[in-house]
Structure 1
Amino acid sequence: MKVKSVIVPSGMEHLTKFTRKIPSDVNVVPVTNDDSFSNIPLKILHPSKKGRGKNEDSMVLYGQFGLKSFIFMGDLDRRGERQVLQDYPSLKVNIVKLGHHGSRTSSDPNFIKQLEPELAIISAGRHNRYGHPNQETLNTLKMENIS
């Protein structure tokens, strides 16, 4: 598949460890939540300003597919989750792809409670070296009765 453009959180386009992996004929498009694309069925919720390409600058995407709403949290931390809630106070979703592989630095109980998801997805390798997902995150999901 030929990639023409890569969309990244604003600020990441300056990270040498990222840019050296991108072929010179690929367009890198930095974005914030002020940006939108008519040909992409996802809304950018975060970042709201240019960052340095760190986890706290992760891109958060929201979309509706069929009758379900989704949010994809990237590696966003709890502070970033609180910022998303501040920017979108009525945000609710059916399905959440949890941030930072289910680590304890993400998935704040208040954030999860606000979203009211019926299903959470955690992307983490089996027996990974970080022990993801964290038991605290799993307990948060259990307390909110989220599969």
Structure 2
Amino acid sequence: MAKRKTYKKYKKNKTISTSAIVLTAIFVSFFALRAVDEWLSLGLFAKFDAMVVQWTKQVTNQKPPVSFDPNADFSVHFIDVGQGDCTLILSDGHAILIDAGENDKGDDILAYLDDIGVQKIDLMIATHPHSDHIGGLDTVIQGISVKEVLMPPLKSSVVPTTKTYTDLLTAVKEKNITLKQSKVLEEYRFGNGKLTVLGPVANYDELNNTSLVARFDYGELSVLLTGDMEADAERDLLASGASVSADVLKLGHHGSSTSTSDAFLQAVGPRICIAECGEANEYGHPHEEIIERVSSYGAAFYRTDLYGHIVLSAKDGALDVSTQKQVSG
């Protein structure tokens, strides 16, 4: 009996040991294949990860923060980060992230990206080095793959020495990300979408006016993104002959009266205007003057302080607007 018992125990342990070896081999092979996939930039595991995320959301009934058509030709997400800017463009499987709010908003943005299944950023734009625009970018860089970062040229006399700015540069360097200085009229292709750098067209002492200005075009639809560009830079941009006409205008400087002059609004001719601003912010953005100007012009007006996240989806040339919150009246 003793020998038989010992034999059974030995066989059981041998089975457990073999299973452990097999499982270890599977895990090692899995991570080895993942490493090779990342090294060769095949993207196979990115698709696998996206499938796992989608399956998990279906099982847990998790819904994205804003309901929008995932099969749209492209979508533009004005992410509510309080008093700051953060815009995401999705175009034919590519992702462009423009700004990321204050320093404490990086994790919120990563959560948003995860909720809608974004696995990597093809182009990250830091419009200008104010903390309410670039504060969360270093956290985003640490949490998701970023291919390239684009920043506007700055005069040496206005290059910031703030920790927020140096943290961004440090994160870019640590992750070995390509960092480029923007050039006017430079184009970036994302499937059928195209992003064109329009400004700044001059060297400015005011950081708001150094904002990288870009227009995104997809078919006949276009979106103009202006950072915190103010009236002086708007005037110079118009004088340069730049094509600023767009269906959607992201208002400069959170809807401040220092931006979106009447001449600029007329030149853009938007159907929809967006103000990215915080609820009950101390600056009073968007200013009443701008609200009235947009209203008198006849454009639809959406603002993140009231609507939360705002998503514009385009399908077959038509624009659909979805918002996180409903506003009555």
TM category (shorter chain) comes to: 0.7 to 0.9
Task: Give the structure 2 partner of residue 45 of structure 1.
Answer: 198
Q: For 1:1-147, list aligned pairs within 5 A.
A: 1-11=144-154, 14-17=159-162, 18-22=165-169, 23=171, 24=173, 25-38=176-189, 41-51=194-204, 54-88=207-241, 91-147=244-300
Task: Give secondary structure in 2 for the equivalent of 1:101.
Answer: helix
Number of corresponding residues: 147
TM-score (norm 2): 0.41
Quote how far apart the aligned CAs of 1:107 are: 0.6
Q: Which moved more, 1:66-75 or 1:117-126?
A: 66-75
Alpha-carbon offset, residue 102 of structure 1: 0.1
**Shift >6 Å, 4+ stretches:** none
Aligned pair in 2 of structure 1 residues 19, 49: CA closer, same or farther (>3 Å)? Answer: farther
RMSD: 2.3
What are the superposed Cα offsets for residues 44-83 of structure 1, whole Å, 9 maximum, x if unpaired? 0001245568111001101212431110010000111111
* Aligned-residue identity in percent: 27
Query: How far apart, in 2, do the equivalents of 1:134 and 1:46 lie?
Result: 24
Which has more radius of gyration? 2
Q: Which moved more, 1:114-123 or 1:24-33?
A: 24-33
Shift of 1:21: 2.8
**In structure 1, the residue corresponding to 2:149 is in which secondary structure?**
strand
- 2: CA distance between counterparts of 1:51 and 1:27? 25
Greater per-residue helix proportion: 2
Question: Please, what TM-score do these two structures have when normalized by structure 1?
Answer: 0.86
- 2:161 corresponds to which letter in structure 1? T
In the aligned structure 2, how far is the partner of 1:19 from the partner of 1:34? 28
CA contact (8 A) 2:189 2:195 kept: no
**Alpha carbons 2:204, 2:210 under 8 Å: kept:** yes
Structure 2: how far apart are the matches of 1:53 and 1:11? 10
CA distance 1:37–1:67, change in 2 (3 Å): closer
Q: Is the 8 A contact 2:256 2:290 kept in 1?
A: yes
Contact 1:32 1:49 in 2 (8 A): no
Cα deviation for residue 100 of structure 1 reads 0.3
Q: Is the 8 A contact 1:3 1:26 kept in 2?
A: yes
Residue aligned with 1:71, SS: strand
Q: Distance in 1 between matches of 2:181 and 2:166?
A: 12
Query: Structure 1: any 5+ residue segments left out of the alignment?
Result: none
